[in-house]
Amino acid sequence: MRIIVGLGNPGDRHRDSRHNLGFRCVDLMSRRWEIPFSERRAKANLAIGRRSGRDVVLVKPRTFMNNSGEGVSYLIDRFGVRPSDILIIYDDLELALGRIRLRTQGTGGTHNGMRSIISVLQTQEIPRLRVGIGHPPLGQDTVPYVLGRFSEDESESVSRSVGLAADAVECILEENIDAAMNRFNSVQTEC
């Protein structure tokens, strides 16, 4: 079983924010793979199905970003999986807009959602897919930037990077994360 968690903040207010790029990625997978979000639990919205011969659970935690560890811990308990069976997808301002990066482990960097997950699970060995949003413009604080929406000029690049992220997850399911890292970590969409 593979559990794919897109990080974001719940609620209409945050729907199209940069910080909800993880939600946007799993929403695309749900549509592409025809696995609808049909289970709404206290800690997460779930889409459960099969893809590439494997059981797959797409997840949008209902906890706010800074408490993402609670939602992921719930998944481990509910499905009896290890942290290595989970793939976390999240926005990353350290990556340029249009870039994605897969890793099998590492720190949470500056991302509070990933730091929460690492803290609650007490391991850094959690596969993750970072989707670049770029740095805020000079003089703009980080919080308003990540909670803000993409500009019209950025929207095409964002759509391509979300599609690329879904392609990378498909590669993980069909092959493995090493093959996906080799294939997708060097790819950059045009900005």
What residues have CB less than 8 Å from 60, skipping those under 6 apart? 5, 6, 8, 10, 22, 23, 26, 27, 37, 44, 45
Average pLDDT for 110-138: 94
Q: Which helix (H) or strand (E) holds 151?
A: none
Residues known to be catalytic? 19
> Distance between CA 121 and CA 22 in Å, rounded?
19
Q: How far apart are CA 73 and CA 45, in angstroms?
A: 14
pLDDT for the residue 41: 78
pTM of the model: 0.94
Residue 123's pLDDT is what? 95
pLDDT digits (tens, 9 = 90+) for 27-55: 999 999 999 998 887 788 999 999 989 99
2-184 is a CATH 3.40.50.1470 domain? yes
Judge whether residue 159 has pLDDT over 90: yes
Look at 190 and 189; give whichever has higher pLDDT: 189
What residue ranges do the domains of the chain occupy? 2-184
Question: Left if phi > 0, otherwise alpha if psi is -120 to 50, otherwise beta: which for 126?
Answer: beta
Burial label for 10, CB within 10 Å (0-12, 13-18, 19+), is middle
